[in-house]
Structure 1
């Protein structure tokens, strides 16, 4: 009976040993810190500074122009009605005052035309057209900078890519080590700067065309109202 017990114990030990041997070897999990957005920017290197400046510049220009153009595109039907009413009643001074007080691109265009009443229609049209060009140039102010940002931001990203590749080879030449620890710094810089440059460039490109479309709508509206004003002046002579 004792012999049977010893044999059983020995067999159990063998089974336990085999089970431990065939179990997969596991390594303790190394806690990985969450990668924060600020850490990513820092890993991008010095190229992130000009890319960040371009991003801030582009956003400032976009919002400043957006609100300016939107203000200029407000409905001016009431202004046109008041000026038409004053001209019909023969109150030229009242029409000029209404146009001056509107403080809008259309108001300044009509004011110049009203001050030219009595001259040939061609002179009035020319005066309105010249003021209109000045007003449009004011609306388009700094929009071209957005186009520049859209063009050079990806180029800075590409510059960061080249800088990251150079860093990888430099680190390898110093350590003669091809491990991921050595090349990860350059890879971070390469990928982060490329992504940042493309992101800023795409956003600036979209904002640039949004503003241009808004300006085109304002121009069309100004031209329509100017034609209506000229037609109003020509009515008595028909």
Structure 2
């Protein structure tokens, strides 16, 4: 009977431990608390995240502004040039603030020179405008490369923390290794997520720049065609 009571008590204790463990697992942890477990490596990752968001929206606004082109712009330029009203065409291009208008303005300034010289001048302006749109995009490319590396660095620190805890306590328990595992997993996941965000942002902005570049090339070709049309 005594042994049966002991077995019953053991089962009860085991059951209580399982219940307590389940209750601990069910406890919710906030995102901020989880991120804090990543340790000091999280702070440079926070900086990279803020830089990614800032550069993305700053470039997105600038590129969207550059890509806005009035559908009637080239038609008005064509009518003014064909009728010989060069000054009106120049004023329109000069007062329109986008890459296409700046290219056309340079082309109008070179009217009377050989077509090759006009194309070259417009091409140079186009390159400058492309450089302006691509400004700071290299930051996103850099973050996409180094953010996962910071996460990997956090993995190393987490493993050092884990083994140091085991060596200093001489115990291989869940409590001993939890801190190192948290640091390892949180920093690795955060670094990968930030790197992925930066890569997606970089690719998206490059696509938008390519669309604007196509509009610039089309406008340049239209302008050269206009110069070869007979005047009225």
- TM normalised by structure 1 equals 0.87
Query: Does the residue aligned with 1:185 lie in a helix, a strand or coil?
Result: helix
Alignment of 1:71-150 (within 5 A): 71-150=65-144
Of the three residues 140, 153, 158, the one matched with 2:147 is 153
User: What's 1:36 paired with?
Assistant: 30
The whole-number CA distance in structure 1 between the counterparts of 2:207 and 2:109 is 32
User: What's 1:3 paired with?
Assistant: none
Of the three residues 50, 74, 92, the one matched with 2:44 is 50
Check conservation: 2:67, 2:98, Cα contact below 8 A: no
Number of residues paired by the alignment? 221
The whole-number CA distance in structure 2 between the counterparts of 1:36 and 1:236 is 72
Check conservation: 2:93, 2:104, Cα contact below 8 A: yes
Report how far residue 88 of structure 1 moved.
1.6
Provide structure 2 residue ranges, at least 5 long, that are not aligned to the other structure. none
Could you say if the C-alpha distance between residues 147 and 234 of structure 1 is closer, same or farther in structure 2, counting changes exceeding 3 Å?
Answer: same
Report how far residue 39 of structure 1 moved.
0.7
Report how far residue 172 of structure 1 moved.
1.1
User: What's 1:10 paired with?
Assistant: none
Could you say if the C-alpha distance between residues 155 and 21 of structure 1 is closer, same or farther in structure 2, counting changes exceeding 3 Å?
Answer: closer
The whole-number CA distance in structure 1 between the counterparts of 2:8 and 2:210 is 77
Of the three residues 168, 192, 195, the one matched with 1:198 is 192
Provide structure 1 residue ranges, at least 5 long, that are not aligned to the other structure. 1-13
The structure with more radius of gyration: 1
Report how far residue 208 of structure 1 moved.
0.8
Check conservation: 1:79, 1:102, Cα contact below 8 A: no
Provide Cα deviations, 1:63-101, integer angstroms capped at 9, x if missing partner.
111121122222432111111111122111110110011
Q: Which moved more, 1:223-232 or 1:79-88?
A: 79-88
Of the three residues 181, 192, 208, the one matched with 1:214 is 208
Check conservation: 2:82, 2:230, Cα contact below 8 A: no
- TM normalised by structure 2 equals 0.89
